[in-house]
Amino acid sequence: MNTTWSRFNIASVVLGFAFLYLPIVLLVIYSFNESRLVTVWAGFSTKWYFALFNNRGLMDAAWVTARVGVLSASIATVLGTLAAIALTRYTRFRGRLLFSGMIYAPLVMPEVITGLSLLLLFVAVNFDRGFWTVTLAHITFSMCFVAVVVQSRLVTFDRSLEEAAMDLGAPPVTTFFKITLPVILPAVISGWMLAFTLSLDDLVIASFTSGPGATTLPMKIYSQVRLGVTPEINAICTILIAIVATGVIIASLINKRREVQRIRDEQAAFRI
Partner 1 sequence: MESFGSFRRKFAPWDDPAAKPYIRFENVTKTFGDFTAVNDLSLDVFNREFFALLGASGCGKSTLLRMLAGFEEPTSGRILLDGQDLRGIPPYRRPVNMMFQSYALFPHMTVEGNIAFGLKQDGMAKSEIDARVGEMLKLVKLEQFAKRKPHQLSGGQRQRVALARAVAKRPKVLLLDEPLGALDKKLREETQFELMDLQYKLGLTFMVVTHDQEEAMTMADRIAVMDHGRIMQVATPAEVYEAPASKFVADFIGNVNLLEGAVEKAGSGEVEIAAATQGLTIRADTSKALSSGQNVWFAIRPEKIRIGREKPVDASFNAVEGELWDIAYFGDMTVFHVRLDNGDLIKASSLNAVRKVENPLTYDDRVWVSFDTDAGLVLTA
User: Where on the chain is the footprint of partner 1 (CB under 8 A)?
Assistant: 158, 160-161, 163-171, 174, 178-179, 182-183, 262, 265-266, 268-270, 272
Nearest CB to partner 1, comparing residues 155 and 168: 168
In the complex, minimum distance from the CB of residue 189 to partner 1, in angstroms, rounded to a whole number = 14
In the complex, minimum distance from the CB of residue 172 to partner 1, in angstroms, rounded to a whole number = 8
Nearest CB to partner 1, comparing residues 124 and 272: 272
In the complex, minimum distance from the CB of residue 183 to partner 1, in angstroms, rounded to a whole number = 6
Nearest CB to partner 1, comparing residues 7 and 265: 265
**Distance from C-alpha of 227 to C-alpha of 42, rounded to nearest angstrom:** 22
Nearest CB to partner 1, comparing residues 70 and 183: 183
- As a whole number of Å, the end-to-end CA separation of the chain is 35
In the complex, minimum distance from the CB of residue 80 to partner 1, in angstroms, rounded to a whole number = 22
In the complex, minimum distance from the CB of residue 39 to partner 1, in angstroms, rounded to a whole number = 54
Nearest CB to partner 1, comparing residues 64 and 179: 179
4: left (phi over 0), alpha (psi -120 to 50) or beta: beta
H-type alpha helices, the chain = 7-31, 47-54, 56-89, 96-108, 111-124, 131-155, 159-167, 172-175, 181-201, 204-209, 217-225, 231-271
Specify whether the CB–CB gap between 206 and 218 falls below 8 A. Answer: yes
Q: How many CB atoms lie within 10 A of CB 47?
A: 13
| Helix (H), strand (E) at residue 176 | none
Residue 44 C-beta-side C-alpha neighbours within 13 Å:
0
3-state SS assignment for residue 33:
strand
In the complex, minimum distance from the CB of residue 185 to partner 1, in angstroms, rounded to a whole number = 8
Phi, psi of 33 (to 5 degrees): -80, 140
Nearest CB to partner 1, comparing residues 183 and 240: 183
Nearest CB to partner 1, comparing residues 145 and 157: 157
Amino acid at 207: S
In the complex, minimum distance from the CB of residue 260 to partner 1, in angstroms, rounded to a whole number = 13
**Distance from C-alpha of 10 to C-alpha of 104, rounded to nearest angstrom:** 39
